[in-house]
Structure 1
Amino acid sequence: MKNLALALSGLTLAAPAAIAQEAQGIDEKVNAAFAAATGPFVSFIFAPLPGTAFPWIVLWLVVAATVFSIYFAFIQFRGFMHSISLVKGDYSDPNDAGEVSHFQALATALSGTVGLGNIAGVAVAVGIGGPGATFWMILAGLLGMASKFTECTLGVKYRNEYADGSVSGGPMYYISKGFKEKGLPGGGILAILFSIFCILGALGGGNMFQANQAHAQISGIVGAYPGWITGLVFAIVVFLVIVGGIKSIAQVTEKVVPFMGVLYVVAALIVILFNIDKIGWAFGQIFAGAFTGLGVAGGLVGALIQGFKRAAFSNEAGVGSAAIAHSAVRTNEPVTEGYVSLLEPFIDTVVICTMTALVITISGQLMIDPETGNYLVADGVIQTVGGTSGVALTSAAFGTAFSWFPYVLAVAVILFAFSTMISWSYYGLKAWTYLFGEGKATELAFKIIFCIFVVIGAAANLGPVIDFSDAAIFAMAVVNITGLYFLMSVVKEELVSYRSRIDSGEIKKFKH
């Protein structure tokens, strides 16, 4: 019996290591098989234009944003103050159809875009394209405001409103219904394609990637521990929020988004104030680098590519995801939500991404050649004081003000990841119900699947899966923008009608 006990004890001790090794082997095989199957699709979506390093998908988004800006006479500037009035509730009637307020819809959509890309992605852009990338990032963000205006107006215009007061909207609805209204073929097929890409993107980039990076940030502070623990905690909290639907999600995001946004911006301002004497120099680096590159690999073109890429990947203008959240707003005027949504790229890219870039530039983390004034570059990447990149570079930059500032950043990372997950759960859910039908059972099935993927994302190293889901998110943009080009005349009609009624006094501020 003693020998048996010893044998069992040895088996017990050896089992976890053997199981872990076997699981790792299976994980690697799954990764390899998945990469082989999806590699061509991923390569196509992120392929550079011939002879350049500029991804064609980024050009697709930037060109569309420019077209919409011109077509709507730069509505992002003309309508900015009216957007703020709408968010404040000046024109909100609580009796209008819909589920959430203008502010809640904006907060929900923002929670899906303001995420780790604002922290780590900007650091990568500045690390490769230099501070000059910031200028092009801001420009792309300003143009992207017109794309949001277009897609979110259509989202409300063609949404489905149900007897229980709930609504469903987004590109799959306005493409299918809008094309049919105009007598155009192919709307149904495009809507199905968008829904498939949206579900894949929601489970991957909007879920697993967020859980994975949040676990990496937490374990980096408290020490290594199994990822499934982080995943399980996140999954439980996420489920408790999303099980209540868009109203529950909106109630959380309207509190979390302002808190995490203010927390991050205040932290950034403190770092900037600690280096107040360098503010003029930092802006000089941004403008000079935008047109000369300041010796950075790729020069002007490199800065432009990195800036446009970061803006496109961060604010998702043209992807169509935000239109799903904005479709749930309480309003009978579709164009009002177009106005509200154009604030998203401004907050996400022009404010938060720029703050990150300024902190990195001003904190002295980027190494400069004292003789030439150019940035020191090795293998196409700017050399940094600690040899860091991505979120580690941003963390080091924040740490120059106070040694404990990286902990504040860690809180921001966790909040950003959490808020992104709950918003993308709603995007994926609406694409799921478009394909499989509305109903409590259908919705619950997706929510459970989504939470299972939270655990998987935190526990596993699924590089190819994340790459594929990112590609799926930008494949959404291919379908969505195609639809927007055919339907932007509908938005123009809505805008002209709304503005004429505002100017005539027919539409007045609502007295609360």
Structure 2
Amino acid sequence: MKRFISFFIIFLSFSINAQENQQTLDQKINQSFHNATSWFTDTILYQIPITENISIPWVLIILVGGATYFSIYFKGINFSGFTTAINVVRGKYDSVDKPENKSDIPETIKVEGDGEVSHFQALTAALSATVGLGNIAGVAIALSIGGAGATFWMIVVGLLGMASKFVECTLGVKYREIETDGTVFGGPMYYLKNGLKEIGYSKIGKGLSILFAIMCVGGSFGGGNMFQVNQAFKLFEYVTGGEQSFIYGKGWLFGLVMAIFAGIVIIGGIKKIAKVTDKVVPVMVVVYILAVVTILVMNYTQIPYAINEIIQGAFNPTGIAGGIIGVMIQGFRRGAFSNEAGIGSSSIAHAAVKTNYAASEGLVALLEPFIDTVIVCTMTALALIITGQITAGNEVSFEQGAILTSKALESGISWFPYVLTVAVILFAFSSMISWSYYGYQAWSYLFGREKRTGNIYKIIFCIFTVIGAAATLNAVIDFSDAMVFSMMVPNMIGLILLAPKVIKELKRYKTAIHKNS
């Protein structure tokens, strides 16, 4: 801990002495970051031209195609398994879904609480990493580019993504590894390595697991860290006065403070502090939803208009570059970033669940995209549209992100933006902690589980927190999308090859339910 604090004091002193002012420091950090990542982001986010004016990121084709395939392959599990999933969370099948090993697991997943976790705890913990800035800032960004119609396609990708989430989280539990001290290690790294080895693709599985782990580490730095702190800073700067704010032009300072707090949690023991964050974050989710519902109730007469705008904009967009395809792309892109279905990250968290049937957790996991994208994102979009913050084809700067949602809430009750700011900072902090664990798991898979190697990752993670707050949102969004979407490629290959294993797990669980009913 002393070394960590000393490191950041030295980093702060160097930053201040090396620059004439803080704004110049932000500019130089941003330029250096852009130069270092431009080639990678250009490659991963390469746009496949469809017509002269329309193109689509190649990774979205894999994402949507894979989700559609799983929806068909599992005969609409997104819908047919919905009721069962709710019953599992409610505890209706606890007598069925009971592990043979009843001993406590003292060090399961650091962000989920003590010992083994229930289905409900696993769901809420995973949601704390997905429900947040993607719903607040991401929706505003998508609508500003693709218009109200992007909402419809976000809902579509959310519904399709439920199937992908079911597959990856079932596999995450099935192929998890548990050490002698009870520590659980799971996620795509393990089902790619162990699962593909089981079906005769040992070398391919090992290669894909390493590739995924590398990208997961990068994803923890990008979407799980930089994007979070960047949007938290932008909103904090806005509500404290914008250009007149004491923090204006000092993104690096905000990032440094967040990095110190994150470092204390990561190095000082996530398990104990997570007891607080696991209680605070769900409360802030409820508070945010209540704030949005308040706006919708106050403007209930405008809701039919907003729904009409969404439907019309989805199929008959006006003033949108790329027309209907352009709207679809924005909806798919933001929806995918929000719920992370098909990317594999959530399976790392779900792997620690207390269960004897892998498919039971897969069913629970399919609720994530529904809650995250279909419910929360749609509510945010409705609030933005009915308050006039977003109109079809009215493109705004990326920098507006969460600020647009803040203005929407402010139109109803003047002090709502302050509530949103607190929620955003807590959402960002919670997501950063969760993603630091995901990244740490991947880092440990690559470099071993020794304490020294883990500390190296944690320091690098905190440095990226400072960079994320100082960089422009354009650079952060592109890097975040590139890293997160690149995780999807090896993960999706594994999901398709291992889909028959998931079928067997689902049948086994359904049989167990039937016998005990």
TM-score between both structures, scaled by the size of structure 1? 0.86
**Residue in 2 that maps onto 1:74:** 76
Point out the structure with max Rg over C-alpha: 1
Whether contact under 8 Å (1:31, 1:465) holds in the other structure is no
Residue 167 of structure 1 is matched in structure 2 by 184
Match of 2:410 in 1: 399
Shift of 1:483: 1.0
Q: CA deviation at 1:347?
A: 1.0
The answer for the alignment partner of 1:201 in structure 2 is: 219
In 1, the alpha carbon distance for the partners of 2:269 and 2:73 equals 36
- Alpha-carbon shift at residue 31 of structure 1 (Å): 5.3
Q: Give 1:342 shift.
A: 0.6
**Contact 2:231/2:401 (8 A) holds in 1:** no
Three-state SS of the structure 2 residue aligned to 1:272 is: helix
SS in 1 for 2:325: helix
Note if contact 1:108-1:253 (Cα within 8 Å) is conserved in structure 2.
no
- In the alignment, the residues of structure 1 paired with residue 145 and residue 494 of structure 2 have an alpha-carbon distance, to the nearest angstrom, of 34
Q: Which residue of 2 aligns with 1:498?
A: 509
Shift of 1:241: 3.5
- After superposition, the Cα gap between the structure-2 partners of 1:389 and 1:210, relative to the gap in structure 1 and judged at 3 Å, is closer
* SS class of match (1:54): strand
Say whether the 8 Å CA contact 2:468–2:476 is kept in structure 1: no
Counterpart pick for 2:362 among 329, 332, 338? 338
Name 2:233's counterpart in structure 1: 215
Q: In the alignment, what sits opposite 1:147?
A: 164
Structure 1 residue 467, shift from structure 2 partner: 3.4
Q: Which shifted more, 204-213 or 401-410?
A: 204-213
Identity of aligned residues (%): 54
Distance 1:471 1:354 in 2: 25
**How far is the alpha carbon of 1:158 from its aligned partner?**
0.6
Q: Distance in 1 between matches of 2:310 and 2:206?
A: 45
Pair 264,465 (structure 1): closer, same or farther in 2 beyond 3 Å: closer
Q: Does 1:61 align with 2:72?
A: no
- Give CA deviations for 1:413-461 in whole Å, capped at 9, x if unaligned: 1121111101101100100111122244443443344334334433566
Between 1:111-120 and 1:238-247, the stretch displaced more is 238-247
Query: Contact 2:137–2:231 (CA<8 Å) still a contact in 1?
Result: no
How does 1:354-373 map onto structure 2 within 5 Å?
Answer: 354-366=378-390
Q: Structure 1 residues 128-137 or 488-497, which shifts more?
A: 128-137
Change (3 A) 1:208 1:79: same
Contact 1:127–1:389 (CA under 8 A) maintained in structure 2: no
For 1:398, the aligned partner's letter is: L
Q: 1 CA distance for matches of 2:268 and 2:123? A: 19
Q: Distance in 1 between matches of 2:356 and 2:22?
A: 53
C-alpha distance in 1 between matches for 2:420 and 2:162 = 27
One of 414, 432, 452 as aligned partner of 1:421: 432
Matched with 2:44 is 45
Kindly tell me: are residues 143 and 158 of structure 1, through their superposed partners in 2, closer, same or farther at Cα, counting changes over 3 Å?
same
Q: Identify if the C-alpha distance between structure 1 residues 298 and 266 changes in structure 2 by more than 3 Å, giving closer, same or farther.
A: same
Aligned-residue offset at 1:481: 0.3
Cα distance between partner residues in 1 of 2:259 and 2:416: 27
Query: Higher mean Cα deviation, 416-425 or 42-51?
Result: 42-51
In 1: Cα distance, 2:267 partner to 2:31 partner: 35
Distance in 1, matches of 2:384 and 2:221, equals 31
Is the contact made by 1:288 and 1:294 (CA closer than 8 Å) also made in structure 2?
Answer: no
Matches within 5 A, 1:59-458: 59-90=61-92, 91=94, 93=98, 95=102, 99-184=116-201, 185-222=203-240, 223-225=245-247, 226-243=250-267, 247-248=271-272, 251-366=275-390, 375=392, 377=393, 381-382=394-395, 389-458=400-469
Superimposed CA distance per residue, residues 296-348 of structure 1 (whole angstroms, 9 cap, x where no aligned partner) = 44332232222112111111111111111111111121111101111111111
Q: How many aligned positions are there?
A: 479
Tell me: CA distance 1:68–1:443, structure 2 relative to 1, closer, same or farther (3 Å).
same
* RMSD, matched Cα: 2.8
Corresponding letter in the other structure for 1:344: E
User: Does the 8 A contact of 1:46 with 1:471 survive in 2?
Assistant: yes
- Work out the CA distance in 2 between the residues paired with 1:25 and 1:404: 33
2:27–2:470 CA contact under 8 A, matched in 1 = no
Which structure 1 segments of 5+ residues have no match? 1-14, 368-374
Are the counterparts in 1 of residues 30 and 467 from structure 2 also a CA contact under 8 Å? no
CA contact (8 A) 2:33 2:471 kept: no
Equivalent in the alignment of 1:5: none
Amino acid at match of 2:232: A
